[in-house]
Chain A
Amino acid sequence: MTAAAVATARGRRRPHLPRAVAPYVFVLPFVALFVAFSVYPMVFTLRLSFTSWRGSGAAEWVGLGNYTYLLGNDAFWSSLGNSAVLWLLIVPVQMVLALVVAVLLDNAKVRMRGFYRIAFLVPFVTPLVAVAQIWVVVFDRDYGAVNGLLNLVGLPDVGWLTTTAWAKPTLALLFLWKTTGFIVIILLSGLQSIDRSVYEAASIDGASPRRQLWSITVPLVRRTLMFSVVLQTLAVFQMFAEPYVVTDGGPYGSTTTAGLHLYDHITRADLGTGAANSFLLVIVVMALSLLFVRLLRSED
C-alpha cells in the first residue's frame, strides 16, 4: 500500500485535518475579522496621516506636514501634558493602593475577603456612561453629594469639575475608583504564585511583616507590577470616554486628554491631522511601555 493510499483510506474513515494545515484553518475566522476591522483601518489611517483630507473630495498628499504641524502645535503638547499629569495622579497611587489591598486580601487571617473582592470590583463592572454620569451628579458644585458632605463639616463648596485646579484630580479619582479593583485581582494572581515557604523562612529569621513586604513580596511580584503599570499607562494615555462624558475636556481645556484631543480632529473633520495625531500617540505609548519593560529587565 502506498503512502497516498494509506492517507486516502484514513481520510475516508474519519475526515482528519492534516496537522500542517490545521493552524491555518484555526486562525482563519480570526484573521478574516482582524484584517477587515483592525489591520485594514490601521493601514488606512497610516496612509491618511500623510494627507490632508476633510472627509470628502480628493485627499492631498502632504508628506510629513501633519506631523510637523502637530509637533509645533501648543494644543497637541498641552493634551499630552494633561495626560502626563493624569498618569502621575493615577498610576503611582494606584500601584501602591492596589498592592496594599492585594497583600491584605492575600492574608488568610483577614475576614470577609469574598465581600471585599466584590466591593472593589463593583466599579469595574459598572457601565462607564452610568458611573461617569453619577460622577457629574455627585461632584456637582451646587447640588452634589460631595459638597453636601463638606458643608456638613463646615467646609465651603469646591468646584470639583468647574475649576482647572480640581478637574484633573476629580477625573483621576474616577479612573482610580473604576479600575483599581481590576489591578488588585491581577496583583493577587502574582502574589499567589509566591512559594509560602519563603515567608516561613523569613519569619524564622525574625523579619518583620513590613520588612517581608519590601524584601520578598515587592521583588517577587515585580513582573506583575510592571505588567500592571504598562496596562494602565496604555489606558491613561488612551483615556477618552471619561473626560468626554464628565467634563468634555474643560474647564479651559484642563482635562483635554491626548485621547480627547485626537477626537477633536475627528469632529472638526480634520482627518489627516487626526490620523497623524494617532500615530504620534502610539509612538509615545510604545516608548513609555518599552521604558517600563527596560526598567524591569535592568533589575533582573
Chain B
Amino acid sequence: MTAPVSAHTAPAAALPRRAAPVGPSRRDGGRRARRELAGTLGSQAFLLVLALAFLAPVVWALVSAFKPATQIISDPLGVDPSAFTVENFRRMFTDVPIGRGFLNTAVVLVVKGSITLFCAPLAAYAFAKYTFRGRDLLFGTVLITLMLPTIVLIIPLLLEMKELGWVNTYQALILPGAVDAFAIFWMRQVIAAVPDELLDAARVDGATEFGIFWRIVLPVIRPALAGLAVLTVMNIYNDFVWPVVAASSSRMATLQVVLSTLAQNITGNRIGADYATVTGELLAAASIALIPLLLIFVALQRHFINGILAGSVKG
C-alpha cells in the first residue's frame, strides 16, 4: 500500500516548487511581452533585409537582361520599363549555340540523373544493411574520394577518355561522376536509419532481396530520395569544369560550357560598345540558364528542403 501512495504524493509535492519561478515573470508579463514583440519584429526586419540582399544580384541580372545593352553599363542601377527590349536575347540566340547547349544538357541530365538515382541508393543499401567482404575498405575509399579535389582527377580522366576515344562524346559527359561519393555517403546514412525489423518482416513474407530494396527501402526513404534528385539535377545542370575539359566542341558543349565561352569574350572585349554588347548577351544567357532551374527549384523546394532535413546528420 505504501508504494502507490508515495508515487502519488511525490509529483504533488514537486508542483509548488516548479510553479514558483513563474510568479515574477507573470508580474512583469507586460514588459516581457513587449520585449518579445520587439525581438520578433527585429528578427523579421533582419531576415527581410538579408533575404532581399540574397535575391538582389539575381533580380538585377534578370531585369538588366531586358535593358538596352548600352544602358546596362551607362546606368547599371536605372530601371526604365518603357525602354525594355528583347534585343539581348535575340542577338544571343543568333551568336551563340545555346539551343544545342540546352539539348546536350537535357540528354546528360536524364541519363546521368537516372544512373545516380538508381545506383547510389542500391549500393548504399548494401553498405548500410549487409555485411560483406571488402565493405569497409570500399566505403573507406569512398570517404577518401570525398576529400579529393575534383580537379585532381581531371588529368588522368582526360587521358582515360583519350585512350577510350571518348573525348567529345556523351559517354564522357555522363559516366565519370555518375555515382559520386557524396550521394553514396548521404544515402548510406539515410538507409542505415531504416529499422531492420521492417526488412526482416518483408523477408519472412517471402520478398526477394531486391524486392525489399525496391518495395520497402525506396518508399521509406522517399523524402531523402527527392532531396537527392533535386541536388543531382542541380549538380549536373550546373557542372562546368569537367564538361569544359572533356566536351568543348560546339557540337557537344553543354549549356554551362556555352556560357563560359561567352564569358571569355567579355574579358577579351573590355572597351566601349563591344563590352556593352557582350555584357547584354551574357546577362540574357545567364537569365535563360537561371530560369528553368529556378522554376524547378521553386516547384520542388519543399521536397528538396525536407530531403536534406531528413538526410543530414543529427545534432
- List A residues at the B interface (Cβ < 8 Å): 14-17, 19-20, 22-24, 26-27, 29-31, 33-34, 36-42, 44-45, 48, 101, 104-105, 107, 109-112, 115-123, 125-138, 140, 142-145, 148-149, 152, 177, 180-181, 185-186, 188-194, 204-206, 209, 220-224, 227, 234, 237-238, 240-241, 245, 248, 259, 262-263, 266, 271, 274-275, 278-279, 281-282, 285-286, 289
Closest residue of chain A to B37 (Cβ to Cβ) is A109
Task: Name which of A194, A227, A241 has the most chain B CB atoms within 10 A of its CB.
Answer: A241
Which residues of the other chain, B, contact A129 by a CB distance below 8 angstroms? Answer: 238, 240, 256, 259-260, 263, 289
A125-B297 contact in complex given A24-B132, A109-B40, C-beta closer than 8 Å: yes
Closest chain B CB from A124 CB (angstroms):
8
| A111-B44, A204-B18, A282-B147 as given contacts; A134 in contact with B54, CB under 8 Å | no
B127 within 8 A of A: yes
Residue numbers in B under 8 Å from A282 (CB-CB): 147-149, 152
CB distance from A26 to the nearest CB of B (A): 4
CB closest residue in chain A, given B60: A145
Are A223 and B147 neighbours in the complex by a CB distance under 8 Å? no
Contact of B54 among A33, A120, A132, A237 (CB under 8 A): A120
Determine if B210 and A17 form an interchain contact, defined as CB atoms under 8 angstroms apart. yes
Looking at chain A's contact residues, the main secondary structure is: helix
The CB with the most chain A CB atoms within 10 A, among B18, B25, B206, B315, is that of B315
Instruction: Give the distance in Å from the alpha carbon of A227 to the alpha carbon of B52 in the complex.
Output: 28
Q: Is B216 an interface residue (CB 8 A)?
A: no
| Interface of B toward A, CB cutoff 8 Å | 18, 21-22, 24-25, 39-40, 43-44, 46-47, 50-52, 54-55, 57-58, 60-61, 64, 72-77, 115, 118-120, 122-123, 125-127, 130, 132, 135, 138, 141-142, 144-157, 159-160, 175-179, 181, 184, 206, 208-210, 213, 234, 237-238, 240-241, 255-256, 259-260, 263, 266-267, 275, 279, 282-283, 285-286, 289-290, 293-294, 297-298, 301, 304-305, 308-315
Contact B312 A227 (CB under 8 A): yes
From the candidates A45, A125, A148, A248, name the one contacting B293 in the complex (CB within 8 A): A125
User: A44 to chain B: closest CB distance in Å?
Assistant: 4
The answer to whether B123 touches A29 (Cβ under 8 A) is yes
Contacts of B64 in A (CB 8 A): 137
A234: B residues at CB distance < 8 A: 146-147
